[in-house]
Structure formats: structure tokens, C-alpha cells
């Protein structure tokens, strides 16, 4: 399954951590070839350019509370993200 994509310690240094500068050349987050996810670009646009900006515009004082735990097998992502309205 692709849930382990980008998490192979033989390929990626510190695979469990988030690193914005990570070389994603060997990455396979949406598969490749005939298995490439047709909705990959659409999902990125909807989340990054539509949903999140609307959320942050409506709630300008959101803060993440505590640690964000990640998990999943076929679809890896945050299991929950606890937020509060800023002080």
C-alpha cells in the first residue's frame, strides 16, 4: 500500500518528521504510471487554495493545541488536529 510512501528510512532521512526541504525525487505519494491518482491535483487545489484559506479567513485566531498524530495505511494523514481560538 502507498501508506508507507515517503517513509522508508533507507531512502529518506528522518522519514517520520516533516521537512519542507526534503528531496521528494524518490517520492510516490500518489502512485505512478497507470496507478497515478487522477484526483491528486484536484485534491491539492481544493485543500490548499479553497478549504484552508476559507477556514483561516473565518477563524483568524486558530492555534494548534498539542501534538498532531499521523497515521493511516492506504491514506496517511493527521488522525486529529486539536485547535483552539487564540487568546
Express each pLDDT in 29-85 by its tens digit. Answer: 656 666 667 777 788 778 888 888 999 999 999 999 999 999 877 667 888 999 999
The CB-side HSE value for 43 (13 A sphere, CA atoms) comes to 7
Of 7, 49, 10, the residue nearest 28 (C-alpha): 7
Range ranked top by mean pLDDT from 19-23, 24-28, 64-68, 71-75: 64-68
Pair 68, 78: CB distance under 8 Å: yes
Alpha-carbon distance of 62 to 56, in angstroms, equals: 7
pLDDT of residue 58: 94
Amino acid at each position: 500500500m502507498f501508506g508507507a510512501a515517503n517513509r522508508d528510512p533507507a531512502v529518506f532521512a528522518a522519514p517520520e518528521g516533516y521537512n519542507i526541504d526534503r528531496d521528494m525525487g524518490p517520492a510516490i505519494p500518489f502512485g505512478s504510471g497507470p496507478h497515478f491518482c487522477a484526483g491528486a491535483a484536484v485534491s491539492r487545489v481544493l485543500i490548499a487554495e479553497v478549504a484552508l484559506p476559507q477556514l483561516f479567513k473565518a477563524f483568524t485566531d486558530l492555534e494548534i493545541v498539542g501534538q498532531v498524530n499521523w497515521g493511516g495505511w492506504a491514506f496517511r494523514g493527521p488522525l486529529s488536529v486539536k485547535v483552539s481560538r487564540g487568546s
